[in-house]
Amino acid sequence: MKVVLTVAELRGLLRPARRAGQTIGLVPTMGALHDGHLSLIRRARERCDVVVMSLFVNPSQFDEPDDLEAYPRDHARDTELAAGAGVDYLFAPVVEEVYPRGFATQVSVADVTEPLEGQHRGIAHFDGVTTVVTKLFNIVQPDVAYFGQKDAQQAALVTRLARDLDTGVEVVVCPTVREPDGLALSSRNAYLGDDERRAALCLVRALRAANERYAAVERDPAALRGALHAVLAAEPMARVDYAEVVDGTTFRPPGRLAVLAVRIGATRLIDNHHLGDPL
Ligand code: AMP
């Protein structure tokens, strides 16, 4: 695996592969790698001749300066894990390489970005995501890009962006990887103290409760939403940003995607599940 710091070098390295008609896969990450990230790399490795992983803590998608400051960074560990999972090129630019002086362009996706995360974190969060993903698509020009269902609304808006801008990039959305007890893997789980880690299980418990109601042929949107809220309300350490059952493309009701954002202490966690699927 080669670590690449600049856009120009990465372009140069990928040119021969592209000319030879090889398939290029891209896995965008912010580092602090866990098995969720590694599952995306493995999927890319199965199908692509060349696998590029980007590691960039994108300042423009953080809505809270403290969150950006505190975000876990461990370059040495990430490099080792990425190499072990089969990455060919680890693209790890500094902020000035991605946003040079005078940078003034923004890519914005409408509609799907507005509810839920858009409402709670502000639209600037998703504008940060779509702008950096567009740049990565232009830099790498991948055939396929891999995203996680864990960030369901992000995966949906990237899929929309890839189509709307005729990028030619196929967006593959991979299933959420969970801890044995059900907690969705997240770089932010590292912030949780022992009590908080226990309390964080209320997210998957809420999804399971709604899933059980759905399996019992409950289809009333208010009842399914109620099942989420009942579990979350029973956890004293949880403060709910939202818990809704929405359509997995528009992120508005009605639908069968249960989506949650919950604060446990200072840590904001998100999770989701397609009701009716095993959990
Ligand atoms: P991040 O580093 O948090 O920006 O995440 C990079 C990519 O990994 C995104 O496409 C995420 O959706 C995906 N991802 C994060 N957590 C998980 C998980 N538990 N399972 C599967 N994919 C994940």
pLDDT score recorded for residue 169: 98
Distance in Å, CA 144 to ligand 1 centroid: 16
240 burial via Cβ count (<10 Å: 0-12, 13-18, 19+) = middle
Give the active site residues: 37
As a whole number, the mean pLDDT across the chain is: 98
pLDDT score recorded for residue 39: 98
CA angle 274, 265, 275 (to 5 degrees): 10
Evaluate whether 275 touches 269 at the Cβ level (below 8 Å).
no
The Cα 135–Cα 82 span in angstroms is: 21
Tokens of 46: 């199965």
Tell me the C-alpha to C-alpha distance, in Å, between residue 262 and each of 126, 188, 259: 18, 12, 10
Residues with C-beta less than 6 Å from any ligand 1 atom: 29-30, 36-37, 39-40, 147-148, 150-151, 174, 176-177, 184-187
DSSP 100-134: -TT--------STTSSTHHHHH-HHHHHHHHHHHH
pLDDT score recorded for residue 145: 99
The Cα 211–Cα 276 span in angstroms is: 6
What is the SS3 assignment for 70-95? HCCCCHHHHHHHHHHHCCCEEECCCH
Say how many C-beta atoms besides its own lie within 10 A of residue 4's C-beta.
21
β-pairing verdict for 267-274 and 89-91: unpaired
What value does the mean pLDDT take over residues 201-228? 98
Q: Atom 13 (ligand 1): residue with closest C-alpha?
A: 148
Q: Atom 19 (ligand 1): residue with closest C-alpha?
A: 185
Predicted confidence band of residue 148 (pLDDT cuts 50, 70, 90): very high
pLDDT score recorded for residue 62: 95
CA neighbor of 13 nearest in space, from 54, 56, 52, 57: 52
Tokens of 91: 């693209």
pLDDT score recorded for residue 151: 98
The Cα 245–Cα 242 span in angstroms is: 10
For CA atoms 54, 59, 63, 66, the dihedral sign is: positive
Distance in Å, CA 87 to ligand 1 centroid: 16
Predicted confidence band of residue 261 (pLDDT cuts 50, 70, 90): very high
pLDDT score recorded for residue 156: 98
Distance in Å, CA 217 to ligand 1 centroid: 31
Predicted confidence band of residue 124 (pLDDT cuts 50, 70, 90): very high
Predicted confidence band of residue 47 (pLDDT cuts 50, 70, 90): very high
